[in-house]
Chains A and B, each alone.
Chain A
């Protein structure tokens, strides 16, 4: 798989964007999906500057028609789908359980869980037809830890890890691997919104044995590895790329 076709959701910022750049630099054909046309087109220009073939597809992962179209267009454009990175997510409404509502729950779960489910449904359809593929769902260290005032986000990421393992079991016989990558606190726009203040953000780094926040590029290198043939015997695994946060 020297020039894999890679589809990334939530690809316009943060870890998704870094993954798009990392794959493009390795010679992949990259489809970036997101909700904002202008940012999508700008990213495609940037990826093409690395010599990569790249396309932007507008998609909202909460809408099945969008997701079906995203996968179908990818296959129509590049002939196959080798790697799918299901990264689109929201930090949701951070706050105490007493402030949560049916709406705040649904808003987070629709993007972070339903979005992953719909994406996998259609990605697997394309990959089963070719008998190979690698799916990477982006979880979080909060996919296997608790965090005060983040119960909905934490619950959604726990769901992602359970779904990852289950689908890995279902489709291994089709030659498709399904894994998750769990970043620790990573210096992105989402983390800035999530933590609210610079002091809160800095405090997170004190829980990381390597002593700082992670960078999107560092998480992207973990994603590229788990997608690659070097990880050919790994499926159903949650790879922590977190500077040691989970161990601590």
Chain B
């Protein structure tokens, strides 16, 4: 069901994991996708190739979103390729680091907030001129923002900030017809999740989760594609939990 035919999308952190799954889901629905990456050039090229192989339109673009001017640069790059119209922004790029309160360093804390909060904030700001009536912005929160999960306090605080931004962005941009939502994944089987790498971790996940299987990246990608679509035209300001019913 190609519901996004003719739409343009930018997905940050799209070389792997949930960003990759989101890019593929949007492309499968017919959107032209800019596949942003930080370091994984080879993986990003693979995503672009996969989209093009089935007749879709995609390009890869590299930007360091930890840099203070990263969002401004990425917005300029995106506008250079797409022109003056962006229908879908998925600000997915993020970094994670498990650390106890004692172990957390100022440098780690600042890097987490730079990539996970500052970059999406200013990416939205810099793209405002090309977002329009009907555009859909999707940020990425986390189960960790809803309840304590392991030693993720600094990381989870960045995701709590996302939940707050979703409300403010939705309220501010609603009058322009721009929708802003987030997905809040639970533990998902990606490179970024340490829990899924051991049997002990997996059993801990299934212990806190209602559904008894480990979430996969495309479980999140399908929700992102929905939020981007017209079927979600009355949904804004919401954070959708995609966590198999974790910590209810």
Contact = CB atoms under 8 A, between A and B. Distances in A.
Interface string B121-141: 000000000000000000000
A248 B236 CA distance: 10
Contacts of A222: 231-232, 234-235
A233 B97 CA distance: 25
Interface residues of A, number: 37
A77 interface: no
Contacts of B240: 234, 237, 239
A204 to B, nearest CB: 14
A229 B175 CA distance: 32
Interface in B192-248: 210-212, 215-216, 219-220, 222-223, 225-226, 230-238, 240-245, 248
Contact of A209 (B171, B216, B219): B171
Interface string B65-80: 0000000000000000
B166 interface: yes
Interface string A186-221: 000000000000000000000011110011001101
Interface string A218-231: 11011011000111
Interface stretch (A66-74, A100-108, A167-175): A167-175
A14 interface: no
Interface residues of B, number: 37
Given A209-B170, A230-B225, A247-B170, A236 B235 contact: no
A236 B146 CA distance: 14
A248 B211 contact: no
B38 interface: no
B46 interface: no
B22 to A, nearest CB: 13
B169 to A, nearest CB: 9
B174 interface: yes
B57 interface: no
A179 to B, nearest CB: 9
Contacts of B232: 221-222, 225
A245 B236 CA distance: 8
A247 B171 contact: yes
Nearest to A215: B234
A209 B248 contact: no
Interface centre among A165, A208, A219, A234 (most CB of B within 10 A): A234
A168 B234 contact: no
B135 to A, nearest CB: 13
A160 to B, nearest CB: 15
A172 B212 contact: yes
B85 interface: no
A232 to B, nearest CB: 6
B56 interface: no
B236 A244 contact: yes
A247 B163 CA distance: 10
Contact of A237 (B175, B219, B236, B241): B241
B216 to A, nearest CB: 8
Interface of B: 166-167, 170-171, 173-175, 177, 179, 186, 210-212, 215-216, 219-220, 222-223, 225-226, 230-238, 240-245, 248
Interface of A: 165, 168-169, 172-173, 177, 208-211, 214-215, 218-219, 221-222, 224-225, 229-237, 239-248
16 contacts: A169-B245, A172-B245, A208-B174, A209-B173, A209-B175, A230-B223, A230-B226, A233-B219, A234-B240, A234-B241, A242-B234, A242-B237, A243-B174, A244-B179, A244-B236, A247-B238
